[in-house]
Amino acid sequence: MKYFIGLVVALTAGWFVLSGQTKPLFYVLAGMSVLAALWATARLEIIDRDSSPYHRGILLFSFMGWLFIEMIKANIAVIRAIFRPVGALSPGVTVTRCQARSDLGRTLLANSITLTPGTVTLDIADGKLMIHALQGDGLTSDSFTEFSRRSVVAGDERG
């Protein structure tokens, strides 16, 4: 029930933040939209801890700040790699263990790696991720340990 209430609050707040309208017609439309979304999620039986991760907001925002800094560093590395002489790129693929226990944690990790310039998550299977990197020099299975650790903190259950 608490996830249902959290979803109502999040959907309602999202509607008003994005619309910015306070006319009666918009209140009616907001109510109808929130009710339709709630009906669909209840009907699909997907209202649970993973689909309502509002309790992890602070951790998720700190993860996003760290990821933003990592993306800036990766952008600089990719720009440097592009301006090197022809043939200086050495792409590589590695398989790394995923520490995340939930679907949300695994998805957060895979998407975070893919969002970082120069890397793409190719596959997730059996608790492992296959990652392609533009610069394969020094690429090991431990290269993404910090990503995995931080995504677990932001996306998985605590304790």
Residue 143 · residue 155 · CB < 8 Å: no
Question: Per-residue pLDDT tens for 35-94?
Answer: 998 898 888 887 776 666 666 677 778 888 989 999 999 899 888 888 888 777 888 898
pTM of the predicted protein model: 0.64
Measure the CA–CA gap between 51 and 90, rounded to whole angstroms: 39
Domain ranges of the chain: 2-43, 56-155
Average of per-residue pLDDT across 100-113: 83
Residue 152 · residue 144 · CB < 8 Å: no
Question: Per-residue pLDDT tens for 4-37?
Answer: 787 888 888 888 888 888 889 989 999 999 999 8
Q: Is 138 left (phi over 0), alpha (psi -120 to 50) or beta?
A: left
